[in-house]
A and B are shown apart, each in its own frame.
Chain A
Amino acid sequence: QVQLVESGGGVVQPGRSLRLSCAASGFTFRSDAMHWVRQAPGKGLEWVAMIWYDGINKHYSDTVKGRFTISRDNSKNTLSLQMNSLRVEDTALYYCVRDPAGSGWAFESWGQGTLVTVSS
């Protein structure tokens, strides 16, 4: 079955960097778009970034553009999110999400999330 396992979260000071990873299995990773979605404590869902199946086209929310970089390694079935210049407001649970080809931007599978806390 589809598995998405995030890692890399932790406590970091404002202005510092963190790199999240997501190990994917149970589906043809190289065929599907992938996203990061986050959820601040007690708040709603916020889309962060996406990367197309081939790793070429990427999109970011305005709140992270220029600070975060999404990437993927289709040979290792892994998705990454490099987060630089972190802010207190980036504190959230970060979900790795699968968007199957032809699904109409439907987030079919979600990981359990990795918690990022930005605090001095």
Chain B
Amino acid sequence: QSVLTQPISASGTPGQRVTISCSGSSSNIGSRNVNWYQQVPGAAPKLLIQRDNQRPSGVPDRFSGSKSGTSASLAISGLQSEDEADYYCAAWDDSLDAIVFGRGTKLTVL
């Protein structure tokens, strides 16, 4: 069982807004930055959101991140077919002295 809990799957239709949650604890999300990654099939992961809510250069503003307490969320608005991918949250964990990943959420665009 992963330290960070994500839903296994999510789905939406083109143009919709979807959110993916990531639940942790005080030793990771509650005290550390959360980062989000997108992995399309067959490709290496790509940094999508860093430091809870910052978009790296080149990431569309349709993607946004937020955090409250020991939970974080990734929101995707104006859903597009190319957004179909696996999404992972990650954070440093002070108790484990390790980076922890969520199990990943498979997003399907219907």
Contact = CB atoms under 8 A, between A and B. Distances in A.
Interface string B79-98: 00000001010111000111
B88 A44 contact: yes
A47 B100 CA distance: 7
A44 B103 contact: yes
A29 B37 CA distance: 22
Contacts of A50: 99
Contacts of A103: 50-51
A51 to B, nearest CB: 13
B19 interface: no
Interface residues of B, number: 27
B37 A62 contact: no
B91 A47 contact: no
Interface stretch (A11-19, A70-78, A83-91, A105-113): A105-113
Contact of A35 (B2, B46, B91, B99): B99
B64 interface: no
10 contacts: A37-B45, A44-B2, A95-B44, A103-B50, A105-B35, A105-B90, A106-B33, A108-B47, A110-B44, A113-B44
Would you list the 6 A-B pairs with minimal beta carbon distance, nearest first? A104-B33, A106-B50, A47-B99, A110-B44, A44-B104, A104-B51
Chain A interface size band reads: 20 to 34
Nearest to A65: B98
B101 interface: yes
A62 B47 CA distance: 25
Contacts of A95: 44-45
A59 interface: yes
Contacts of A60: 98
B32 interface: yes
A61 interface: yes
